[in-house]
Structure 1
Amino acid sequence: MAPNDRHADSAPDLRILGDRITLQPSGFIESLKDTGADGREEALMKNTARFRSEPLRFLRDVSLYVSGTGWRAYDDVIGQPIFYNGFSEHIKTQVMSATVLQTKISQLADMRVEVEEKQGLLNKNDKDFAMKKAQRRAVLVQSLQEVAENLTDNMICKFESKTFIRGAYYMVTQLLLRAYHQGIHVSSEEVLRLRTVAEEAEKKKQSIIFLPCHRSHVDYVAQQLLCYRLGLALPVVVSGDNLNFPLVGSFLQHAGAMYIRRSFGDDQLYTTLVQAYIDVLLQGGYNLECFIEGGRSRTGKLLPPKFGILSFVLDSLLSGRVEDAIICPVSTQYDKVIETEGYVTELLGVPKKKENLADFLSGGSNVLSLRLGRVDVRFHEPWSLRGFIDDQINRLSKIPTSININWKDTQNQLVRQKILRTLGYKVLADINAVSVVMPTALIGTVLLTLRGRGVGRAELIRRVEWLMERVKAKGGRVAHYGNAPLSDVIERGLEVLGKDLVGVVDGLAEPTYYAVDRFQLSFYRNMTIHLFISEALVAAALYTNVKQGGGPAVQDIAYKVLHDQVLFLSSLFRGEFIYSGEGLAVNLERTLAGLEADNVIMIERDEEGKITKVGLSDAERAAGRENYDFYCFLIWPFIEASWLAAVSLMGLTPPLGQKDDIWIQVSRAQDSAQFLGKTLYHQGDLSYFEAVNKETLKNSYQRFEEEGIIQIIKSKDTRIPPRLRVAPEWRPGRDEVTGNLMASGRLWDFTEKIASSRREGKNRRDGATVSTRVIRLTDELGEKLFEEAVKGVEGKKKGVPAPARLSREEEKSLSRSVKEQKRRRKLEGRAHL
């Protein structure tokens, strides 16, 4: 092991494989040569063979779980009591009696009585008016109580039977470890620390809130298995009600799932009910698990945080109903994610199928025959949420601001939003800090950051080794390989990825590997990008000059120009990546110093030591720019996607002579942008097919909305989808004679600024291409969207719920929203596009 490996002396992993837990070097992967009759794969196969050939022994093994022999009893658990008869009723009673819920029910009943009074349903002149009003109110309260009770029963998890959870653990373990045949790995050091924290939390009756990243349905299964096997109280897992389908839904609910709607809308009763349940869990010290990203990441990298459940948790503490809770960010990494093929389909625009039992069972049978490697779970050091809140309030109070606001007033929504946002991004940063880079991620990253069709075995090994060193130098964690040579580790990774993702050409001077499915392989590349985002942004900013060709005199860039482009790009991708909290100036200086030390760039300084110019080093030029290109290849697909999203907005400029605004359905605009991207890719005007992926385009649109480039209106009528328009001050002009879009204006300049860091194609030049063919295409697609929107107005009577024009109420809402966004941007005080 290299002497500079900072993890060389780290605590060993716990290898969890069925019943067996053994210690081994952190991240260990045995040599392929060692996997024989006694290897991990054989140990798993014995369980299946025993079922077929020795049914009595198999049944005896199952009985150990059902009867609760040894650790399987799940009796000596760290945490509050769960899995006893009456648990669900106990929780339901607490939820229904919660003050916050009963107060809301009373308010809703009063509001309804007031409405009925105004409508004349209750006659004020009636001599028994007061009594009838009270009777009517009592009926409404009773009705709301019944609705709330029914909603509660469907929502809460039902930790009722230890016999059930023992059997469930055994069954799920056998299923999971037939797919992930090399087991679940954790750090023993992290486990011991977590157990110590859990013991202290149990004494104080505090909850541990596990906040994992979310890449697969396996995430929550692995977390529950670990907590069970390690003797920790299982967390209640926040789950979307889309998983609550027959049989499976009930199984998950009894194993820890709490079901909530994907959207609450304006349902005040349901919103309050969720808050009451969160309060009860945190007041009782029950553990909770919530995926910080909301849904599963289809791209492989962390998604921006979703603040829904976090806002309920924060309210529990800020209101004083809960004293404290412990936050534990969790990273779950895979050699291969089961769902990636389905993710690609979704990202290319195919609607996601609703979960159902048939797909679940058929998918499970296929999974049993897979060999997907292993799962790595890493726990960040837990921390006090109360301590975090206090620190944030103290820090905010000391920061000068032009806005007159009392940062110690935790009832102020602006203060809450600031704390909530900081909390979400801190958790993401903590997850990135403990994530382990798997061999498949290393291979995928290398294959997608090299020029040419393929790479030979020796070069693949060399670049993987280089990437490992870069990951470690950036403070990342690479899965350790024990005594196995790197060539064996790479061979294992290639086997797990499979020939559908990575092909090999034999019969050459050496085996040559190539990316078969670049789109799907990008999922694994994106697992490493967070480590190098600063270097990638600098490389992309420098590329504005490098792409001009010529020597250093042409390609070197003034520091001020570099700084401004890095600032622009980092702001552009604020919703895509997690940055250091130290600010641009510090981060840029550190990044440039690191690239200079690695001999990738050269830096010129003035007499005072200030940077004046930056360019590629002579050594990097001599090496064919391979390290510089690596950083560019990481960020270029995202630049392409943002450029595509910006170009698509050009076509949303109203037609010539259009007096009032036509509002376009957001989903239709994004679908049109994706359609445009596919066309441009096949015509050679787009370099990366993954740039058309739905998630990245949605993120770009959201970022544009934050900056006021587009305005989005959401109707109170849930049947009417969100609609958008390009803000008037951002729209390009049209030729007064032909009506054609003109390559000018604020949006055009914005698009060109993105394009300056975009990878130049072999057979095109950005400016001429965009200003002619691309603008024509986006304008034609935009024209179709306007026609559809107008027809939507005409067809509203036929049930088409997408009016192209705003109602007066929506116009007022838009005005308020624009003002609020301006205020928020001023409050955040960050760089803007």
Structure 2
Amino acid sequence: MSKPKSPPKATSTTSPDLAILGNTIQIHPSSVANQSSQEQSLLEPYARFRREPINALQELGLHVLGEGWRSYDNPIGQDIFYAGFSENMKGMVMAQPKLQNKMAELAAKRVEVEIHEGLLGPKGLEGEEDEHRKRRLDRRREIEGQLREVAEDWTDKMICKMESRYFIRSAYYLTTQLLTRAYHQGIHVSSDEVLHLRAVAAEAAKKKQSIIFLPCHRSHVDYVSLQLTCYRLGLALPTVVAGDNLNFPVIGPFLQHAGAMWIRRSFGDDQLYTTLVQSYMDTLLQNGYNIECFVEGGRSRTGKLLQPKFGILSFLLESVLSGRVEDAIVCPVSTQYDKVIEVDSYVSELLGQPKPKEDLAGFLSASSVLSLKLGRVDVRFHEPWSLRGFINEHRSRLSTQLPSTPSTKHDAALKRRLLTTLGYKVLSDINDVSVVMPTALVGTVLLTLRGRGVGKSELVRRVNWLSDRVQAQGGRVAHFADNTTVSVIDKALEVLGPKLVGRVEGLPEETYYAEDRFQLSFYRNMTIHLFVSQALVCAAVYTKVKQGGGPESERISYRKLYDYVFFLSQLFRAEFIFPTTPLEENLQATLKGLERDRVLSCFRNNVVSNEIEYVELHPAERASGREDFDFYAFLIWPFVEASWLGAISLFMLVPPRNYQGDAEASWLDLKTVQDKAQLLGKTLYHQGDLSYFEAVNKEALKNAFSRSEEEGIFQVTRSRDGKSGTMMRLDPQWMPQRDEEGRLKPDGKLWDLCERISQGRREGRNRRDGATVRTRVLGLVELVGADLFAEYASVPPEADGLQGKKASRRRKGIQTRAQL
């Protein structure tokens, strides 16, 4: 008996797409299968000069003259494009009381140092005190003047310089020409979201409040697409917080005049610079200028959302918390692509190649992809919300959860909790409005099927199924207009190209296979946030299913299921953005959904309590060959593999059997160990002991090591000067032992962790666990570890000490949010 499947949905409840043609706005229905054939993107590609020279010149002329919407004369928001804007902004920043006070404070501290060094005369000498006091006052004023010059220079280099409306018109024309060459289907937005955003922006402009746009970050195209969208819709362009690594000749000044502000990648202990950035944020928010920053910090190399970075968020929160700014409007933004331009370089970085330095040559080299047809960009805006309202809502609740401490410590702890909650709320909102693109559907299906390849009809069936599952989970599928699923898949395959998806020629049915699984995983990861709960539950059930023996042998008790799901949620706390509901509540809801879909069966001990006793595969799922159950398991297996690799590689930290140095005093550079772990993973993959090559990616290993540090599995020490890197060694409690022959023993706390992770690993024809495998894997680990100690073991320089207490505090903070 085959398992019945739901028919594909003909319509979608998501908002229609908005098409802007010339000076008119048209709204098209959002049905997945029956959308208007006249659907257009937000940016209609311009005429090409070689093909239509007259039309191309006419379009250019309209931009030069500022015809209609192109004039950008009255955008919704504060006035930004006028001569003298930069000098006015610079003056407002330098006049901030917080910055003035900090310069006075730093000058006073320096004078005290010079007095102590005897450079400004001794204190208390009768008859000379007035003279010394005057010298000190003059010296203080001199230092304040020097600090002011430095701050003015930094401010000039930092602030965006939106001086000319003619420049921004030209920039819009140029970037649209480039963008629509690469993304030939343009930018798509939701009509409801955009119209509501315009209304919110108009109200915010009346109150002189800023809109803080917080997009996800997968590509350099992110900020270009949002700026173009704001320009085309008549919204005041936001000031974009950007790392100064992009501030190189030609491109840097261009971006700065188009809205970019430059900040250092790291502030260190520079109090003046930190205060200057805070003062700039205060100035922008006090005057109602829009801001754009990326909550993840850098670009995601894996396709899924990264954990939040709290740097700029902390400045924005501080502006409102302190009362210097009354309120600001927060608008999370999702930007999705049919294909991301930089994925090739991401794969190289994840496999250990150094990140290339940003420069003009590298930027211009991107022109080679501008002629490619990469599909479309979808920009979606979450419902904007008040930052002051968020603070008021969460402050009282979070305050009661904190222990009774002195006021200053309590306030600092409260701010940290508010900041953490803010960061994860923004990420959750971004996921809520994210659109799953056709390429993500195809990539996900190809990576979650057993076998070498898939026929066209089966690919269509599973894409329809996945589209239904996405919408059932509250997700959105990109509008397909009036295209059939077959034509949508054909377009997706064309965009992905033969380097990612191969096709077997000469067969009775078109057959496709994953040519580059590593790159395709980027697109699969764009869907995984919708199914994390189901994936963890199925991985827990798989710990029994993999043992075989029929239905009764493959059951798992609810308690064991709960324990392993909790274990995995802790394991992946740095990988995924989990729901904020308690584990028990979310687990029950997930099981209920999997029961409804006839993937799992839950057996309850009695009707009254309705408590689940054990869980097993649904008979219909068994009859269908476990295809839906496997789908969820395939999603999580690469991450289980990466975590296992991260844990097994820690055996490299055991000093070799014939090591001549002091084992307890020998430390290893953390980055070097991670590089060796990646080398170990590549070897295990090619020897068949690791199933997924993407498990060796640098980001996954970095997350695994961070988790191990937080758990206290290894100790770290960091040099005070920050130049010597981070050194590490295994904590004695986690140190494995050797047998009589000097070989590493597969037991102890570290081995138990590896085995616990391994319970959820995929087994199949290519891999079986056993004593031989354990011996081979540990032998290889020891081989790499011996080389590691021979070349890199050393005594660390003077450092801040072990980070155990700090890691413990961080672990407790993370565990409060890392639940399924």
Same fold (TM over 0.5): yes
Cα displacement (A) at 1:707: 2.2
Aligned in 2, Cα 1:252/1:40: closer, same or farther, shift over 3 Å? closer
Q: 3-state DSSP class of the match of 1:160?
A: coil
1:162 and 2:165 equivalent?
Answer: yes
Aligned in 2, Cα 1:739/1:441: closer, same or farther, shift over 3 Å? same
On the 8 A contact 1:184/1:377 being kept in 2, the answer is yes
Cα displacement (A) at 1:580: 1.2
1:404 alignment partner AA: S
Aligned in 2, Cα 1:775/1:10: closer, same or farther, shift over 3 Å? closer
1:561 and 2:560 equivalent?
Answer: yes
- 2:106 is matched with 108
- 1:701 is matched with 705
Q: 3-state DSSP class of the match of 1:47?
A: coil
On the 8 A contact 1:665/1:722 being kept in 2, the answer is yes
Deviations 1:256-284 (A, max 9, x none): 10111111111111111111111111111
Aligned in 2, Cα 1:149/1:39: closer, same or farther, shift over 3 Å? closer
- 2:623 is matched with 622
Matches within 5 A, 1:499-538: 499-538=498-537
- 1:89 is matched with 87
- 1:337 is matched with 340
1:713 and 2:717 equivalent?
Answer: yes
Aligned in 2, Cα 1:769/1:468: closer, same or farther, shift over 3 Å? farther
Instruction: Give me the whole-angstrom Cα distance separating, in 1, the residues matched to 2:562 and 2:21.
Output: 50
Aligned in 2, Cα 1:451/1:4: closer, same or farther, shift over 3 Å? closer
1:723 and 2:727 equivalent?
Answer: yes
Instruction: Give me the whole-angstrom Cα distance separating, in 2, the residues matched to 1:421 and 1:823.
Output: 14
Within the candidate set 165, 172, 175, 2:175 is matched to 172
Instruction: Give me the whole-angstrom Cα distance separating, in 1, the residues matched to 2:162 and 2:33.
Output: 36
1:810 and 2:811 equivalent?
Answer: no
Cα displacement (A) at 1:506: 2.4
1:306 alignment partner AA: K
Aligned in 2, Cα 1:825/1:666: closer, same or farther, shift over 3 Å? closer
Cα displacement (A) at 1:152: 0.9
Instruction: Give me the whole-angstrom Cα distance separating, in 2, the residues matched to 1:659 and 1:256.
Output: 54
Aligned in 2, Cα 1:750/1:287: closer, same or farther, shift over 3 Å? same
Within the candidate set 331, 339, 343, 1:328 is matched to 331
Q: Aligned-residue CA RMSD in angstroms? A: 2.6
2:374 alignment partner AA: L
On the 8 A contact 2:19/2:40 being kept in 1, the answer is no
Instruction: Give me the whole-angstrom Cα distance separating, in 2, the residues matched to 1:240 and 1:18.
Output: 35
Aligned in 2, Cα 1:208/1:11: closer, same or farther, shift over 3 Å? same
1:810 alignment partner AA: D
Aligned in 2, Cα 1:200/1:631: closer, same or farther, shift over 3 Å? same
Q: 3-state DSSP class of the match of 2:331?
A: strand
Q: 3-state DSSP class of the match of 1:198?
A: helix
- 2:365 is matched with 362
Instruction: Give me the whole-angstrom Cα distance separating, in 2, the residues matched to 1:567 and 1:668.
Output: 31
Aligned in 2, Cα 1:631/1:9: closer, same or farther, shift over 3 Å? closer
- 2:419 is matched with 420
- 1:377 is matched with 379
Aligned in 2, Cα 1:151/1:18: closer, same or farther, shift over 3 Å? farther
- 1:609 is matched with 610
On the 8 A contact 1:542/1:615 being kept in 2, the answer is yes
Q: 3-state DSSP class of the match of 1:263?
A: coil
Cα displacement (A) at 1:302: 0.6
- 2:27 is matched with 23
Instruction: Give me the whole-angstrom Cα distance separating, in 2, the residues matched to 1:19 and 1:222.
Output: 20
Q: 3-state DSSP class of the match of 2:81?
A: coil
Cα displacement (A) at 1:27: 7.4
Deviations 1:567-591 (A, max 9, x none): 0001111111111111110110011
On the 8 A contact 1:15/1:184 being kept in 2, the answer is no
Identity of aligned residues (%): 60
Cα displacement (A) at 1:114: 2.2
Within the candidate set 685, 688, 697, 1:681 is matched to 685
- 1:762 is matched with 765
Q: 3-state DSSP class of the match of 1:81?
A: coil
Instruction: Give me the whole-angstrom Cα distance separating, in 2, the residues matched to 1:432 and 1:832.
Output: 17
Q: 3-state DSSP class of the match of 2:69?
A: helix
Aligned pairs, how many? 804
Instruction: Give me the whole-angstrom Cα distance separating, in 2, the residues matched to 1:340 and 1:19.
Output: 36
Cα displacement (A) at 1:701: 1.4
Instruction: Give me the whole-angstrom Cα distance separating, in 1, the residues matched to 2:7 and 2:34.
Output: 21
Instruction: Give me the whole-angstrom Cα distance separating, in 2, the residues matched to 1:832 and 1:293.
Output: 17
- 2:816 is matched with 830
1:805 alignment partner AA: P
Instruction: Give me the whole-angstrom Cα distance separating, in 2, the residues matched to 1:303 and 1:198.
Output: 28
Cα displacement (A) at 1:47: 1.0
Q: 3-state DSSP class of the match of 2:274?
A: helix
Aligned in 2, Cα 1:259/1:675: closer, same or farther, shift over 3 Å? same
Deviations 1:135-175 (A, max 9, x none): 22222212111111111111111110000000100111111
Cα displacement (A) at 1:250: 0.5
Matches within 5 A, 1:123-522: 123-124=121-122, 127=128, 128-364=131-367, 366-399=368-401, 403-405=403-405, 412-522=411-521
Which stretches in structure 1 are left out of the alignment for 5+ residues?
Answer: 794-803
Instruction: Give me the whole-angstrom Cα distance separating, in 2, the residues matched to 1:328 and 1:292.
Output: 12
Cα displacement (A) at 1:111: 2.1
Cα displacement (A) at 1:405: 4.4
Cα displacement (A) at 1:24: 2.0
1:661 and 2:665 equivalent?
Answer: yes
Instruction: Give me the whole-angstrom Cα distance separating, in 2, the residues matched to 1:393 and 1:745.
Output: 44
Alignment TM-score, normalising by the size of structure 1: 0.92
Matches within 5 A, 1:643-658: 643-655=644-656, 658=662
Q: 3-state DSSP class of the match of 1:223?
A: helix
Cα displacement (A) at 1:821: 3.6
Deviations 1:19-59 (A, max 9, x none): 87543223779999x89xx9999974x611xx236656533
Instruction: Give me the whole-angstrom Cα distance separating, in 1, the residues matched to 2:57 and 2:31.
Output: 34
Deviations 1:217-245 (A, max 9, x none): 11100000000010100000111111101
Instruction: Give me the whole-angstrom Cα distance separating, in 2, the residues matched to 1:43 and 1:421.
Output: 40
Instruction: Give me the whole-angstrom Cα distance separating, in 1, the residues matched to 2:213 and 2:448.
Output: 34
With 21-30 and 691-700 compared, the bigger mean Cα shift is at 21-30
1:13 and 2:13 equivalent?
Answer: no
On the 8 A contact 1:244/1:259 being kept in 2, the answer is yes
Cα displacement (A) at 1:828: 6.2
Aligned in 2, Cα 1:763/1:57: closer, same or farther, shift over 3 Å? closer
Instruction: Give me the whole-angstrom Cα distance separating, in 2, the residues matched to 1:405 and 1:392.
Output: 19
Within the candidate set 781, 786, 801, 1:778 is matched to 781
On the 8 A contact 1:16/1:185 being kept in 2, the answer is no
Cα displacement (A) at 1:729: 2.2
- 1:799 is matched with none
Instruction: Give me the whole-angstrom Cα distance separating, in 1, the residues matched to 2:761 and 2:550.
Output: 20
Which stretches in structure 2 are left out of the alignment for 5+ residues?
Answer: 1-5
Deviations 1:168-209 (A, max 9, x none): 001111110111111110001000110111111111111110
Cα displacement (A) at 1:301: 0.6
Deviations 1:674-702 (A, max 9, x none): 00000000000000000001111111112
Instruction: Give me the whole-angstrom Cα distance separating, in 2, the residues matched to 1:164 and 1:221.
Output: 15
Instruction: Give me the whole-angstrom Cα distance separating, in 1, the residues matched to 2:483 and 2:810.
Output: 53
Q: 3-state DSSP class of the match of 1:293?
A: coil
Instruction: Give me the whole-angstrom Cα distance separating, in 1, the residues matched to 2:251 and 2:537.
Output: 48
Cα displacement (A) at 1:411: 6.5
Instruction: Give me the whole-angstrom Cα distance separating, in 1, the residues matched to 2:664 and 2:135.
Output: 51
Deviations 1:485-538 (A, max 9, x none): 111111111111111111111221100000101000111100100110001000
- 1:572 is matched with 571
Instruction: Give me the whole-angstrom Cα distance separating, in 2, the residues matched to 1:414 and 1:100.
Output: 22
Q: 3-state DSSP class of the match of 1:387?
A: helix
Deviations 1:276-324 (A, max 9, x none): 1111111111100011111111111111111110011111111111111
1:86 alignment partner AA: G
Q: 3-state DSSP class of the match of 2:189?
A: strand
2:353 alignment partner AA: V
